Structure 1
């Protein structure tokens, strides 16, 4: 569970949040807010369960805070602190279902007792919500969506254990099992373009239904639309598959589907089929192979049914480390940190020279990523890249900017200078300078105290004012930025260094390695060691 402590007196917030063993109650994270407005910003972005708030605060009282919270979250539990025993405040606190009303300074027994009561109420409510009957009803109502999402996640490479696969398949009433499977990727051709703005979803649903009808005599069928617009069909034979002719039957049924769609829906399909493979372990690999096969078919070829041949396996030499090391180029440009952005570009080109001098693909990868960041910044500032670049746009449109590392270096640094000139007025804005100073400080002191109070002291602003400025300039809260940077640093260090988990924990500001492991797992779904092992395994495969 997560809790937030709200008080305009910083010593109360810091003392209660940092010097109490909240973890013994099951509180995983304690947020700090020095005003009701700052608390609302945190509650908007964090899954807060419990609020401990002062009653008397400037700008907005604790009662007004809970009234605002109740507009969009009825389940958050509130505990009020006050230096005065006021009947009217107590009455209003009761009206808003406050768990308790404690006088300052509360004893540890009083405070922990109130939080325990809040936790018990939350557990009872969520146990009722998650009851078996209600869960089963919700599952039935959302079954098509859940089935589709499970297949999409598997296509994208999400790994599940055999037991988890069996559990999901059984819960979702999917008659699939470990064993041979085949896949089809279906592309709707241009005749269906007229339905893009009206009826496209119904059309795709009709095609999936026709596929289930045609293939269903022999096979179980599981279909979904994936992110690139293809319809994906996964199939397994019902019962015992024929010893011979499996591929012939599959191709015959694919041709029948193509014919029936043209006959009744008046449009063409192009279909790519995989060979039979081991489901579920090879599912993601075969999906990538089939997608690549579609991309390799050039020209105007359409209305085909093709089987994926064994494509030449190309082993990647690895990713561009400097390009993806946090902070990203886009983040640096957003913050107006031009010197750091220039250093980023120089380091990317230096790595290309050092490690990938004979790889045009790596140069192209860097070029596309850099261009994407440049374009985003131009559009964010209400401009276009073409207008800013002038003649330099020709090199981008022709692809000449990416043909060599030296050209990429010269072109990208030149564009950076033009972007800097174009946004010079924004850089002079005092809010941007505060954000830049804050981010520089956080990046260099992530292992130290980077709480809102410490950052506010560093830039000589009130915490509430700094929080507002940062939110306006970047679109995210300061705590979100610090947390994101910590997770990015952690994942990068896990993939690129041999440092122990506890060493990485200390370097990114988590003094308790156990807490760091818990936070990391909540963010990525695996422990830091599992994340490292998975990365090592992936690199070995590549």
Structure 2
């Protein structure tokens, strides 16, 4: 957990942050703030859990600080320190749900006890949020979506680590296990095309329910709609036997589903059933085989039931699996996962080497899809592929890039490197532009509110994100930059003008001159007036 101590008296902050055994309570980091505004900036950029704040501070009281915190984060636990025992202060603290109200100076037992109470409250709240019961309830509410996503990933060839399948099947309460299974692909025919998207979804849901009802007596049924519009059902026989063979029972139930949909939903179905196979190892292969049968064998035929034979297609007709196995290349490029994109390209070329070394068509297929992905990324970022590729565009224009697997490998990795470098430079330019905007705004509005949140709103970024960008680009935090700018400007005004100290204080953003004097002395070891006298 992280905590912040806020007080305009620096010795209090330093003493409490450095001399107490906070680590024994599980506090990993203790931040220090010498004003409420500084505290708000730290809270905006760090995952603060607990705030210990003095109640009487210039510019903003501890109560006002808590009220500001509550507007953006109701989970932070707050503890008030005060030299006053007035009832009104304590009442306001209670109204803002502070954990404790301690009088200065608190004993170690009082202070550590208050923080321990805050930690206990936080733990209790987060345990409730992340509790097994709540998680299980949420899981049950979202099970259909989660189950469908899992089956879609598996159909597309997503590979799970050893034991991952079993864990997910148990987590999603799916009564399936490794072993003999079959797939049934259902195509909804043109009668259903007249429905709009909402009604179409309801029809699909109704067909899935009917399939589960009809087949559920004899089989475990797991259904989902895949991206090409087929309804796909994974089937496993239940333990109880039947007089009919497993092929016959599957065909009989498929026919019954077809008939009931015709009877009650007024539309026809075409159905393809695979041979029985070993789940999960052969799932993706059998799915692609069945969907291929719809395209190649069935064609425009309607309202049929067909069993796909176990015959393997000639090798020349096989798909290039690595190219289409999720995550796709375009997805990796869009999300900036450059290393994973490189691994994807290497995997595609490795499969070409292993299975399709004599097939120019497979090399061309890979080249076209890789080029399309590269072009899509370039256009999304407002560039042309030619600008980002440099001389690599020549091999693409001449067609030489795809003439061999080795050339495809070399070309695609080279272009990927160019895209990565171009995107990185673009990101750096954008970061530099944000820094310039922030510094320009701060320079012109130093007398006003230049808190992190105001600056973030000025450039339309989240405060945490802006803080990270600024630190990456300049090497210092925004609050450090603002403090340095204020002190530099104060020094300049003290040396070159006859303005009063309180006037300079207001002009650089300190509404309380006494607080400005305190900050200035902490920075330079002398008061503003002493600095002026020394530098006349």
TM-score, normalised with respect to structure 2: 0.54
Does the 8 Å CA contact 1:225/1:232 hold for their aligned counterparts? yes
* Map of 1:379 onto structure 2: 380
Determine helix, strand or coil for the equivalent of 1:221: strand
Instruction: Select the residue among 43, 48, 51 that pairs with 1:39.
Output: 43
After superposition, the C-alpha distances for 1:500-541 in whole angstroms (9 at most, x for unaligned) are: xxxxxxxxxxxxxxxxxxxxxxxxxxxxxxxxxxxxxxxxxx
Distance change in 2, residues 1:205/1:119 (3 Å): same
Query: Counterpart of 1:296?
Result: 292
Contact 1:62 1:80 in 2 (8 A): no
Shift of residue 37, structure 1, vs aligned partner: 4.4
Aligned partners of 2:111 and 2:343: how far apart in 1?
52
Query: Where do residues 271-310 of structure 1 align in structure 2 (5 Å cutoff)?
Result: 271-276=271-276, 282-283=279-280, 285-294=281-290, 296-297=292-293, 298=295, 301=299, 303=302, 305-307=306-308, 309=310
* Alpha-carbon contact 1:17-1:30 (below 8 Å) kept: no
| Cα drift, residue 355 of structure 1 | 11
2:480 aligned with 1:462, yes or no?
no
- CA displacement at 1:291 relative to structure 2: 3.0
Do 2:189 and 2:270's aligned partners in 1 also have CA atoms closer than 8 Å?
yes
Q: 1:98 to 1:457 in 2, by over 3 A?
A: same
Change (3 A) 1:433 1:78: closer
Deviations, residues 429-476 of structure 1 (Å, cap 9, x unaligned): 5626979xxxxxxxxxxxxxxxx8998498243345899xxxxxxxxx
> Who is 2:445 aligned against?
none
Q: Give matches, 1:32-431, under 5 Å.
A: 35-37=39-41, 39-40=43-44, 50-52=49-51, 54=53, 63=63, 66-67=66-67, 70=70, 74=74, 76-80=75-79, 90-101=90-101, 109-125=109-125, 139=137, 143=140, 145-146=142-143, 148-150=145-147, 152-153=149-150, 155=154, 168=171, 180-188=180-188, 192-195=192-195, 197-225=197-225, 230-242=230-242, 245-262=245-262, 264-276=264-276, 282-283=279-280, 285-294=281-290, 296-297=292-293, 298=295, 301=299, 303=302, 305-307=306-308, 309=310, 368=369, 372=373, 375-381=376-382, 402-404=402-404, 405-406=406-407, 428=429, 431=432
Q: Return the offset for 1:367.
A: 7.4
Is this contact kept in 1: 2:182–2:276, CA < 8 A?
yes
Structure 1 residues 41 and 296, CA, compared in 2 at 3 Å: closer, same or farther? farther
Q: Which residue of 2 aligns with 1:533?
A: none
User: What's the CA shift string for 1:483-503, capped at 9, x where partnerless?
Assistant: xxxxxxxxxxxxxxxxxxxxx
Aligned length: 417
Q: Which runs of 5+ in 1 are unaligned?
A: 334-340, 436-451, 468-542
Q: Distance in 1 between matches of 2:424 and 2:101?
A: 51
- Whether the 8 Å CA contact 1:4–1:39 is kept in 2: the answer is no
Distance 1:186 1:424, change over 3 A: same
* Cα distance in 2 for residues equivalent to 1:396 and 1:18: 66
Structure 1 contact 148–223 (Cα < 8 Å) conserved: no
Summarize deviations over 1:26-59 as a string: whole Å, max 9, x none: 66x659696524534555xxxx7x3335468999
Deviation at 1:394, TM superposition (A): 12
1:215-268 residue CA offsets vs partner (Å, 9 max, x unmatched)? 234334343445665434343445522476102211232233234435543545
Moved more, 254-263 or 405-414: 405-414
Distance change in 2, residues 1:211/1:379 (3 Å): same
Partners of 2:333 and 2:7 in 1: CA distance: 37
RMSD across aligned positions (CA)? 6.3
* Structure 1 residues 430 and 122, CA gap change in structure 2 (3 angstroms): closer
Check the 8 A contact 1:53/1:62 in 2, yes or no.
no
Return closer, same or farther for 1:414/1:149 CA change in 2, 3 Å cut-off.
Answer: closer
2:388–2:422: 8 Å Cα contact kept in structure 1?
no
Distance 1:329 1:142, change over 3 A: closer
TM (norm. structure 1) is 0.53
Deviation of 1:144 (Å): 6.0
The answer (yes or no) to whether the contact 1:184–1:272 under 8 Å persists in 2 is yes
Larger-gyration structure (1/2): 2
Aligned to 1:490: none
Once residues 122 and 73 of structure 2 are traced to their aligned partners in structure 1, the CA distance between those partners, rounded to angstroms, is 13
User: Residues 367 and 112 of structure 1: is their aligned pair in 2 closer, same or farther, counting only changes over 3 Å?
Assistant: farther
Distance 1:417 1:454, change over 3 A: closer
